[in-house]
Structures are given as structure tokens and as C-alpha cells.
Amino acid sequence: MKEIGIYVHIPFCKSKCLYCDFTSYTDKNTEIRRYVDCLKREINYRSKDEYLVKTIFFGGGTPSIIDGKYIVEILSEINNAYIVDKNAEITIEINPGTIDKQKLEKYKEAGINRISIGLQSSKINLLKEIGRIHTYEDFENTVELAKEVGFTNINVDLMIGIPNQTIYDVEDTLDKVLALDLTHISVYSLIYEDGTLMTKMVDEGKLLEVDEEIERYMYWYAKRRLEDNGFIHYEISNFAKPSYRCKHNLDCWNQKEYLGFGVAAASYIDNFRIKNTDSLEKYISNVNSDKYYKNVTIEEKQDIDEQMKEFVILRLRMTEGFKASDFTAKFNKDVYKVFESQMDKLLSDGLIIAEEFGYLKLTKKGLDLANIVWGEFI
């Protein structure tokens, strides 16, 4: 039986964050009922008995903006259409200010056992800077409600490199978050994606990017604080208490297969990368007329060379790196010979290091210059 993950995209939001380039809508809430019905049909249409679902992840958009009963319906459909492991990790993303105790109780009863809350910063001026519509108090209240309902596996997303953010702002945010005794913390650098309002504001001189050296200082400060408080730094941007690493993301980094349902959702099955249409109207129309194939674009059929490149890139995201022998076991090739010039350059430049037992991993310098490392394999 093939082990897979499932991703469900909920594209609805109260408002669009200024940095966000994900497919999401702030003016189509009247379509929620129809969209959920289409999700259920797609889930059922693509079901296969040979799949064992190990992880389920509700992302967005803002999954917590829709009525909790819809999440229950979607999970019920997944359980009817697939064999779901009894110990499956089931995550839902939540934004403060869009949740209440009743919704959380429905999530818990439906089998969700992990929640991921988007905070970004404790400072209201920085939240406004990036277009967030909640306060730190909203976030703290969400955590308290989640714990009251019985959730013990709680992640918070934090952001560094926000315009006008200082190291003292990062310190304040970490002080407050660490006091809440959470199990997982993600620390992401703000990325200026093409086509976003934030990128436009920077291009027009209305916002100034944080100096790169300051942003890296924020990263290393956060890393030290989190490790000093019992968190394991297991991936470039992710920190977890022992036994609380995100299984869904780990499976993606380990090139495990997954199915994506909903508008703009991506899948990776049998070395094919597949993506659903970005248009909500087309998605609903095609599903309702049983023309599922019209929603799907095959973005890539990975040949062996692409699989090997992706193996190296994704494994190096994890702080433990990977064993050269694992590469050989998967591809029957020597990573040092396949990527001889890249390995020689990265080793000599001090961006990766070969450790005992055959492990290859990023150095401290490599963590700072990870994009240069990835560029060697693209």
C-alpha cells in the first residue's frame, strides 16, 4: 500500500496580506458552499484503495474563516474515500480573529490533532505593515482556547525581515511566544514575491527592505533563543520540541507523494508534478460538469536527473542533511560523481560540509547563503 499525504486548499480570506502570493479570495465567500461540495466530489473522484493517508494538511487562504461544519464534511469525505492511518497527523492553518471555541471543538471531534497559527509578530505596527488584521492579544486568546479544547500540538508562524522591524521587536515576540509553551515554531524570512502589493510598495520606494545583515542577525538570534528553550532546529525555518516535528512537511522534503485537492492545489504522484487551475470559477464549473481533467495541468514529469537534483535540494533543507549512501540506495549512483563540480565548489566555498558517517549538510555559512546552494542544482 502506497503511503501518501493529502493537502486541501481553502482559498477564502477576510483580507489579503500584502506579501501573499497564494491563490486566495476576499470577495467570494458566497461560493464557499459550492466550493466545499466540489472539493468533496474531487476527493471522491480521485480515490484509490491502494493509498494509505499518513498526513492531511488544510492550508490557504484561511481555512479557519469557513464554518467548522465544512471542515468536518471534507474530513468525513476523505475518510470515506481513502484509508486514513489511525495515527495520521491532521493539521489546519488558523488565523487569529477567525476562530472561536465552537470551531476548535468541531476540529477536535473531526480528528484534527495539530493546529498552525499565523502570528508573524507581536507588534501591532509591524502587523499593520504587512496587512495582517489581528493583534497579539487575538493570537494569545486563540492559543488559550486551543489548549482549553485539548490541542497539544500547536505551531506558530513568525516572520523576520519585516520593514521597520528591529531586533528588539523579534526579542519581544519570542519572549511572549516562548512563555506560551508551544510545541513547534516556524521562523520565516519575508520574501518579496512578484505581483504582491508589498513588492510594488518596495519598487515604488514606499517601503524599505530590512538590511540583509540585520535580517540574518534576527535569524541567528531566533535560532539561539529557541534552541536554548528546548527546541530542535530540524529544517532551515522550523523548530520543534522533541517528537513534534511536522510530519507533513518532512514527507514533502523526503519526496514522499501527496495529493492536492481544491483550486491551485499541487500533487506529486508517480514522479508527476500536477497542479489544479488557479481559477475558482473554472474549478467549480469543471468539477460540476465532471470534467476533472480540465482542471489539471501536468507541470513536470520528473526524469531521473530532476529527481536527483530535487533530492539534494530538499534534503539539504533539513539541518541533519543526508547520507551519501541514501542517495546511492535511491538512485544507484554516487552523489559525488553525479554532481562532482557542484560538490567540489560547495565544499571548497564552505557552504556544505561532509561529516562522519557520510552525512552532507549545510554549514552556518550555507544556511545564510542557501539560495546560492540551491542555484547549483537548478
Residue 298 and residue 267 in contact, taking contact as beta carbons nearer than 8 Å: no
Mean pLDDT of the chain: 95
Query: Given a cut of 90, is residue 136 above it in pLDDT?
Result: yes
Supply the pLDDT for residue 245: 98
pLDDT band at residue 143 using 50, 70 and 90 as cut-offs: very high
Does an H or E element contain 280, and which? helix 280-288
Q: What distance lies between CA 327 and its chain's CA centroid?
A: 25
Q: Which position has the grid cell 530540524?
A: 234
The DSSP symbol for 211 reads P
Supply the pLDDT for residue 291: 85
Query: Given a cut of 90, is residue 357 above it in pLDDT?
Result: no
Supply the pLDDT for residue 374: 95
What domains are defined for the chain?
A: 2-252 (3.20.20.70), 312-375 (1.10.10)
Supply the pLDDT for residue 125: 96
Say whether 196 sits in a helix, a strand or coil: coil
The DSSP symbol for 34 reads H
Q: Which one of 12-26, 37-51, 235-249, 290-304 scores highest in mean pLDDT?
A: 235-249
Q: Return the amino acid letter for 358.
A: G
Over pLDDT 70: what percentage of the chain? Answer: 100
Q: Which position has the grid cell 520574501?
A: 191
pLDDT digits (tens, 9 = 90+) for 98-116: 999 999 999 999 999 999 9
Report pTM: 0.96
pLDDT digits (tens, 9 = 90+) for 244-261: 999 999 999 999 999 999
- Measured CA to CA, the distance from residue 297 to residue 106 in angstroms comes to 34
pLDDT digits (tens, 9 = 90+) for 275-316: 999 999 999 999 998 887 788 887 788 999 999 999 999 999
Supply the pLDDT for residue 259: 96
State the burial class of residue 259 (Cβ atoms within 10 Å of its Cβ: 0-12, 13-18, 19+).
Answer: buried
Stronger pLDDT, 73 or 207, i.e. the higher one: 73
Supply the pLDDT for residue 67: 96
Supply the pLDDT for residue 297: 82
